[in-house]
Structure 1
Amino acid sequence: MTKKFDWDAAYSNGAYIPGGNDFPPRWKNLAAEFRAEIAAAGRLRADISYGPHERNTLDLFMPRGEAKGLVVFVHGGYWMSFDKSTWSHLAKGPLAHGFAVAIPSYVLCPQARISDITVQIATAITHAAAEVPGPVHLTGHSAGGHLVARMACFTSPLSQPIRHRIRKTVAISTLGDLRPLMKTRMNETFHLDAVEARLESPSLLEPQEGVDITAWVGGAERPEFVRQSTLLANIWSGFECNVNVVVEPEKHHFNVIDGLADADHALTRTLLCL
């Protein structure tokens, strides 16, 4: 008899990372310290509203001098946890190169459906892009990786003027095909059905022509996250866009984002096209 595949284990991260429970409080401390430092320097515009809900706010970190462009980082947490305050320190790398960085919160599941969150992120990007001129670079982690990849789809809710400003997208540990998530207990919160899963899965959608996207994933992540990243790159390579996948050796789901806090790390340099 064939053993039933454990989809919950396939998409569980913390349980398979040594000291996994220590990461969220560590992120929060690092973020708070960095936010205080930037605020003291007068380079933080906090809690900018971009929509009607109390969670429709973003923090905008400004570089010294005139910004070369805008980076938007979209956080993960399976669309049902965290907010912008946990990730401020990940603005360090782009800021050091002269880019402004916007980090939005968004209404989480089950208050919002994943399709609703897609629209929220498009609105947040549009609002931030109105604050900072120049090219726009998008990145996000896990569920955030899904959301920035979704912005690169032909059916993106972004307007054409904003789409034309996007120079690079880096989807970190992305979830490109949402259909397997319907088989997890998390779907009691997502309420995904087959129609929404297909319409919100970048790997099942056509990319915009000319998109430049990198799927970045840790080599020590759960096999499903490596599969999801390589799947997106494989399918989109058949379209008129620039797509590739980077598997960063030894990185797991919780430390694969660390490179964004380092100006010289390959993740930051890839995001900024350096």
Structure 2
Amino acid sequence: MDLSDAYANGPFIAHADSYPPRWADAAARLRADMAADGRLREGLSYGPGGRNRFDLVLPIDTPRGLLVFVHGGYWMTFGRADWTHLAGGATARGWAVALPSYDHCPDVRIADITLQIAMAVMAAAVEVSGPIRLAGHSAGGHLVARMLAPGMLPEAVAGRVDHVMPISPLADLRPLLQTQMNQTLRLDPDEAWAESPVAMAPPQVPVTVWVGGDERPAFVDQARWLSQAWRCPLVIDEGRHHFDVIDGLADAASPITARLLD
């Protein structure tokens, strides 16, 4: 069975083509504001590759802690500069926000990207003291969930992580074997299961799984599977679809930001 349609978002979202330019515009505006205030540190290295870089957005005062946000795009698109606006809510609440880029499939495998994000979290943790929160959207939700695998992060860093929020995550990668995008992802059955958060033991760190109520059924299922496997709360954000479910991260007063950082 071909599941490509089940995991396609754009064709089922009104004016889907308008979202990437809107994200880019909002990100550019916040980047300019933060740079003017001396609160943006761009292109910090966490590894040897050209995309092994993260941006660090700082609050006005000493950070309360560090939020690492990992973007989505099916491990194939986007980068750190596309999502700077989503740091707005956390920085307004006094948190520093790290936004990493990573290499894309098919240049690397998903397992390689997982290790890159672990390196990014470790590097960002050196820059900011205090508690660490992890959030990621779609493929990024998969990646932050994978940070809770035993031994993925060194204890000195893992011990600081006190809340993780996979947003519309891909938690069981096996269905992707039956999509056309797997020509690019190059998943095989072993890697698909090894990289699936639902295959991991439930973590000890608090986790909130968040998903839009108007998302494709496959993504609601994926979120529910992770919530059930990890026995953690699932929040269904009614009226939100896959592209706007993350909008609230730009707002300090939104329910998603409050749940993540309170």
Q: Decide: shared fold, TM above 0.5.
A: yes
1:108 to 100, 104, 108: 104
Does residue 160 (structure 1) correspond to residue 159 (structure 2)? The answer is no
**SS of 1:23 mapped into structure 2:** helix
Deviations 1:158-211 (A, max 9, x none): 111111100100000000000000100000011100110111000111133x21
The percent of aligned pairs where both chains have the same amino acid is 52
Q: Equivalent residue for 1:257?
A: 246
Amino acid at match of 1:32: A
**SS of 1:60 mapped into structure 2:** strand
Deviations 1:97-126 (A, max 9, x none): 100000000011011100000000000000
2:207 to 213, 221, 237: 213
Q: Equivalent residue for 1:240?
A: none
Mapped partners of 1:207, 1:75: distance in 2: 23
- State the TM-score, normalizing by the size of structure 2: 0.98
Does residue 57 (structure 1) correspond to residue 53 (structure 2)? The answer is yes
Does residue 130 (structure 1) correspond to residue 126 (structure 2)? The answer is yes
Mapped partners of 1:190, 1:109: distance in 2: 6
Mapped partners of 2:181, 2:214: distance in 1: 23
Does residue 179 (structure 1) correspond to residue 168 (structure 2)? The answer is no
Amino acid at match of 1:211: V
Number of residues of Structure 1 aligned to a counterpart in Structure 2: 262
Q: Equivalent residue for 1:229?
A: 223
Mapped partners of 1:6, 1:259: distance in 2: 33
Mapped partners of 1:181, 1:21: distance in 2: 23
- State the TM-score, normalizing by the size of structure 1: 0.94
Q: Any stretches of 5+ residues in structure 2 without a counterpart? A: none
Contact 1:153 1:207 in 2 (8 A): no
Mapped partners of 2:218, 2:140: distance in 1: 16
**SS of 2:207 mapped into structure 1:** strand
Q: Equivalent residue for 1:44?
A: 40
Q: Equivalent residue for 1:150?
A: 146
Contact 1:69 1:136 in 2 (8 A): yes
Q: Equivalent residue for 1:78?
A: 74
Amino acid at match of 2:83: W
Q: Any stretches of 5+ residues in structure 1 without a counterpart? A: 238-242
Amino acid at match of 1:147: L
Mapped partners of 1:141, 1:183: distance in 2: 22
**SS of 2:233 mapped into structure 1:** strand
Q: 4+ residue runs of structure 1 moved beyond 6 angstroms?
A: none
Amino acid at match of 1:77: G
**SS of 1:213 mapped into structure 2:** coil
**SS of 2:107 mapped into structure 1:** coil
In the TM superposition, residue 6 of structure 1 has moved relative to its aligned partner by 4.2
**SS of 1:230 mapped into structure 2:** helix
Mapped partners of 1:95, 1:64: distance in 2: 8
Mapped partners of 1:65, 1:204: distance in 2: 40
In the TM superposition, residue 44 of structure 1 has moved relative to its aligned partner by 0.5
Mapped partners of 1:161, 1:80: distance in 2: 31
- Please report the RMSD computed on the Cα atoms of aligned residues, expressed in angstroms: 0.8
Mapped partners of 1:160, 1:178: distance in 2: 27
Deviations 1:234-259 (A, max 9, x none): 1111xxxxx21000001000000001
1:247 to 220, 228, 236: 236
Contact 2:41 2:55 in 1 (8 A): yes
Q: Equivalent residue for 1:188?
A: 183
